[in-house]
Amino acid sequence: MQSDTLLTALRQTGFENLSFNTPWSARLFGMTLAASNKQLFTLQQFQAALIDRIKEQEKGGCITTDEDYYSCWLEALQGLLEARNLWQPDQLREREAEVVEAGEHRQEQQRKGHHVVQPEAVQ
């Protein structure tokens, strides 16, 4: 199926009719479509990568949950981006550390009351 045919079919079905069990799987779906729309890869290339990843996963056991399936989806997307030098695993670790550090900083600030409105400040 051509990527424009797939997108046409999705539009006819209605994106609002798509259902995901987790927010991250919905985001992953959207990121994949966005990357394809930016011509980083075709949907056929993604489909082939996903099929290969699922085959590899099923060597160790069946895919029984949405999480299993979307984990394969994520690995297929990462593989395509990595093969095109658009993403490297070290970048993810660095970004993850930045996000964790920022979250810890926000929590510390909240514990100290820096982001809490003080009653005397409200008039």
Helices 43-58 and 3-13 cross at an angle (nearest 10°) of 90
Cβ-contact 86, 40 below 8 angstroms = yes
User: 0.95 exceeded by the pTM?
Assistant: no
The C-alpha atoms of residue 6 and residue 3 are separated, in whole angstroms, by 5
Residue 15 has φ and ψ, to the nearest 5°, of -60, -30
Which of the residue ranges 3-7, 17-21, 40-44 would you say has the lowest mean pLDDT?
A: 3-7
Q: What spatial distance separates the first Cα and last Cα of the chain, rounded to whole Å?
A: 63
Report DSSP state, residue 84: T
Tell whether 111 is covered by a domain: no
Tell whether 16 is covered by a domain: yes
Which range marks the domain in which residue 12 is found?
3-83
Task: Give the pLDDT confidence score for residue 1 in this predicted structure.
Answer: 45
Tens digits of residue pLDDT in 66-86? 889 999 999 999 999 999 988
Tell whether 116 is covered by a domain: no
Which of the residue ranges 14-18, 25-29, 109-113 would you say has the lowest mean pLDDT?
A: 14-18
Mean pLDDT score of the chain: 82
Tens digits of residue pLDDT in 48-60? 999 999 999 999 8
The C-alpha atoms of residue 82 and residue 71 are separated, in whole angstroms, by 16
Closest CA to 79 of 35, 25, 23: 35
Q: What is the mean pLDDT of residues 4-19?
A: 66
Torsion on CA atoms 102, 108, 114, 119, rounded to nearest 10: 130
Tell whether 98 is covered by a domain: no
Tell whether 79 is covered by a domain: yes
Confidence of residue 14 (pLDDT cuts 50, 70, 90): low
Total domains in the chain come to 1
Report DSSP state, residue 116: S
Tell whether 27 is covered by a domain: yes
Tell whether 62 is covered by a domain: yes
